[in-house]
Homo-oligomer: A and B are copies of this chain.
Amino acid sequence: MNAKETAFIFIEFQHDFCSPGGKLYDAVKGELERNRTIPNAQRLLAGAREKGCLIIHCPFILHEDWVEEHACSGILDGILQNRMFAVNTWGQMIIDAMRPAETEVLLTNKRTLSAFSHTDLDRLLTINKIKNLIVSGFLTHVCAQATAFSAYDRGYQTRMALDACCATSESIQKYVETTFAPVLGGPSTVDGILAEIA
């Protein structure tokens, strides 16, 4: 993979997932530690910076639109009812360890699961002549997987850096590692992916 044609997206490295006191921290705490998600993601981010790749940070922010109140179901309804990632709260801030640099892209408007939905992600990739997309972040089997599914269908060479992702249990994480990563093809670890990029 050519570095100039490769982008990295870091999904939802926010306090509500990553920090004690965050609303979803207890749900992921065990896997954060076992999988070493944060240090691995830092290594991935450092590698992407060193190689000069396009870097995109993608938080989820809960906006107070009335529409959401009436219409969503499943996991988005849980987020809404519990006011996770609520706009202007500490919980929705990106953690210091993964703080975006000034020249990096901060993707706004992610409102559902895939980072392509309702955002200008695809346009950013087009403008920057990106062919390869590396996905990391939270949750492995929800937003990260949904983003990878979308990227693959759109024709990007797609990789999940699964040791820089985090699920809610080890068995879920293993499922994605053994069953979904081969759907995409190629390596699925921070080191394996960075080694592919020249």
Contact = CB atoms under 8 A, between A and B. Distances in A.
Nearest to A2: B129
Contacts of A89: none
B122 A74 contact: no
Contacts of A156: 126
Interface in A47-85: 63, 65-67, 70-71, 73-75, 77
B129 A123 contact: no
A154 B117 contact: yes
Contact of A122 (B71, B73, B154): B154
Given A109-B118, A118-B109, A131-B129, A180 B141 contact: yes
Given A66-B103, A105-B65, A185-B77, A112 B153 contact: yes
Given A109-B109, A152-B113, A131 B126 contact: yes
A73 B186 contact: yes
A69 to B, nearest CB: 11
A113 B175 CA distance: 19
